[in-house]
Amino acid sequence: MKKIISLFILLVITINAQDYTKESKEAKDLRMQWWSDARFGLFIHWGLYAIPAGEWNGSTNHAEWIRTTAQIPLKEYYKFVEQFNPVKFDAEEWVKMAKDAGMKYIVITSKHHDGFSLFDSKHTDFDVMSTPFKRDILKELSDACRKYGLKICWYHSIMDWHHPDYLPRREWETDRSAEGADFTRFFQYLKNQLKELLTNYGEIGVLWFDGEWEDTWNSHYGIELYNYVRSLQPNIIINNRVGVGRSGMEGLTKAGEFGGDFGTPEQQIPSTGLPGVDWEACITMNNYWGYNKFDKDFKSTKELLQMLVDITSKGGNFLLNVGPTAEGLFPQESILRLKEIGEWMNLYDESIYGTEASPFNYLEWGRSTKKTLGNNTRLYLHVFNWPKDAKLVVPGVLNKPVKSYVLSDKQKVLLHTTRNEDAIVINVPLTPPNENVSVIVLDVEGKDEIINPPAIINPINIFIDKLDVIVNTDHNDVEVRYTTDGTTPTMNSDIYKDRIELRNTSTITVRSFRNGKPVSNVARESFTKVIPEKPVKVENPEAGVNYFYYEGIWENLPDFNSLEPVKKGTSSNFDITLRNQNDYFGFQYSGYVLIPRDDVYTFYTDSDDGSKLYIGDKLIVDNDGLHGMQEKKGIVALSKGFHRLKVLYFERSVGNDLKVLIEGGGIKKQIIPDSMLFHDR
Ligand code: FHN
């Protein structure tokens, strides 16, 4: 008996000590198969913040962040606990709406940043059992999910504005001393609650962490938490926000960082597919995650469906959010959209579930997904822009067509197909079968062989005296031919070797050929020869830029000139540490940048939150708005000498940084050196 007990203890220690981050790709792919096949899930942001519903002291632009954005002291916020009584909450109703919409999993906020637990937790009284409602919402929802065959998943915030041991405090929270706060004790609390969430509610599909960006959290905590969660449920899937590897709202994991199991682009969709990367785009139906009763700016069903198709065509998952009301109801606008999405999915879900990413780099009329069916490949052609001539041109397909039909056509009446050079042309009905997204099936013989157009890879399309245009192709058995006057290349056109030298404004068109025939669509890019901006004379140049510092709460860059600066001075660079506080501030920097030689320059700002960069009066970089660290760029041709430079920046709350970079004139992309920055004494 003793031997059995010691073996059991050894097993438990082994499981707990196991490093799940060392899992093989095959094992991870197997664990994530249901999630990859599912493609589509429901995000639910619900909690005490649904009670104020976005409004506080007359301002109406709040939501799940209201405790911070409205700077509500905790004792005031506690009053919502006594008010939370969503008597109209019906878990089965919610789950059926998600299921009918074609969603395969639900991710709900077990605890958002405010620290309130939507479940019965033995580790805090700041939970649903302290409210008049006194029902374990997560228990009811997980039971309903199991009843209707959906996976239940938890969103759990690391950042916690309630727990006394969480650090840092909010700047404005002068009534809550951090005295005695112990983050390691908070980490244990986090694990204690996760143990409840992962042992009391059956099998959980995904642990969706968030609020990982404050400097008290790090990759060590992240990896330990990842292993802890997996030790409780080895098959669970965990997002990249468990660690600190996420790159802002772009959401993908930075190279070399620990990234959990999948990337999490937020309110955006990657511009291209990401082969070999698991990712899920989370997007709101209107502008807020939590319920804001004033926000009627809902995306149309068509827009949401085209997002679903776009994401799926790039191999990602779509996590679409609903913010329920304090009564426990989905907003009517959300209900309608879920219903309409479901109607579309009833007709076309075969083109979403279990599909692979599009083999096409670009389709001017829409998107594609694909499946392997025996020896053939099935292409699902999602048409956003229906061809006016009823001819759907599918470029660069070398395979022989087998059959084609409208996916929603129960009779599967065959559509006539012909070949036109590299393309298969499908004769489709005159009017689109679906008002949102129509789907045409095209079966082709064998494994798909798609020749995408050659890529013109110059990042800059203006030049001063000459420019080398570089083209590449991901097919090594083709010949690239090109023209410089915008016409379509033929077998008589020049063959691309290693560059195309331009000395005048030109339109480059490239196309791939094989055995004397075109095998791809064309790619086209115009390049313009420009006159560089003239320099300005600076009477008494002195190192550094002028700065003006402001304080206020903004969602976009304000007109600083209409505001009174809190202070001003000069600074060697775009230094935001000159601020008086960590949130709700802005800067206006002005001066000159000394350009070393005539050339085309790229300027970048990388900022959280918004920023803009001007050369002279020209806006070169527009990186405005509320966002995590996000880089934007702009190009401009400049002559050697001084050029007026202005940078604007604002930070609302949480995370703040500003980087201003330059590239060109022999300068590799880098933060603008102090030596290039001047003001007029
Ligand atoms: O701060 C949260 C926000 O409230 C919301 O939960 C989103 C959803 O992914 N995540 C954070 C912002 O990145």
Within 596-640, strands assigned E span 599-608, 611-615, 618-623, 630-638
Q: Three-state SS for 437?
A: coil
Cis, bond preceding 359 (omega within 30 deg of 0)? no
Q: How far is the CA of 607 from the centre of ligand 1 (A)?
A: 18
Supply the pLDDT for residue 11.
Answer: 59
Q: What amino acid is encoded at 636 in this protein?
A: V
Q: Is the CB of 209 under 6 A from ligand 1?
A: no
* pTM check: above 0.85: yes
Per-residue model confidence (pLDDT) at position 553? 87
Q: Which pLDDT tens digit goes with each residue over 466-486?
A: 999 999 998 989 999 999 999
pLDDT in tens, 437-458: 999 999 999 999 999 999 999 9
Q: Is 64 in the pocket of ligand 1 (CB under 6 A)?
A: yes
Give the C-alpha separation, 7 to 13, whole Å: 10
> Does residue 212's CB lie within 6 angstroms of at least one atom of ligand 1?
no
Q: Where in the chain is the domain with CATH 2.60.120.1560?
A: 542-679
Parts of the chain belonging to CATH 2.60.40.1180: 366-444
Q: How many residues does the chain have?
A: 681
Neighbours of 123 (CB within 10 A): 16
pLDDT digits (tens, 9 = 90+) for 252-269: 998 889 999 999 999 999
Over 90: is that where the pLDDT of 626 sits?
Answer: no
Candidates 114, 212, 266: which one to mutate for ligand 1, based on the most atoms within 8 Å of Cβ?
266
Ligand 1 atom index nearest CA of 264: 9
Position 250 scores a pLDDT of 85
CATH of domain 2-32+39-330: 3.20.20.80
- Considering the chain, tell me which residue range(s) the CATH 3.20.20.80 domain(s) occupy: 2-32+39-330
Question: DSSP readout, 302-332?
Answer: HHHHHHHHHHHHTT-EEEEEE---TTS---H
If residue 197 lies in a helix (H) or strand (E), which one and from where to where?
Answer: helix 183-199
What is the mean predicted confidence (pLDDT) over 91-95? 98
Please work out whether the CB of residue 456 comes within 6 Å of at least one atom of ligand 1.
no
Task: Give how far Cα 554 sits from Cα of 57, 584, 623, 624, Å.
Answer: 16, 7, 14, 11
Looking at residue 4, its pLDDT comes to: 66
Residue 583: the pLDDT is: 87
Cα angle value 605/608/610 (rounded, 5°):
65
Q: What percent of the chain has pLDDT over 90?
A: 91
**What percent of the residues of the chain are helix, what percent strand, and what percent coil, each to the nearest 5?**
20, 30, 45
Q: Give the pLDDT confidence of 353-374 residue by residue, as tens digits.
A: 999 999 999 999 999 999 999 9
Residue 167 and residue 187 in contact, taking contact as beta carbons nearer than 8 Å: no
The mean of the pLDDT values for the chain is 95
State if residue 266 touches ligand 1 by the CB under 6 angstroms criterion: yes
| CATH classification number, 542-679, choose in 2.40.30.10, 2.60.120.1560, 2.60.40.10, 3.20.20.80 | 2.60.120.1560
Strand partners, 437: none
289 close to ligand 1 (CB < 6 Angstrom): yes
Q: 559: CA distance to ligand 1 center in Å?
A: 28
The CATH code belonging to domain 455-529 is 2.60.40
Q: Which CATH architecture has domain 366-444?
A: Sandwich (2.60)
Q: How far is the CA of 210 from the centre of ligand 1 (A)?
A: 7
Q: How far is the CA of 240 from the centre of ligand 1 (A)?
A: 13
Residue 255 Cα to ligand 1 midpoint, Å, equals: 22
Ligand 1 contact, 261 CB (< 6 A):
no
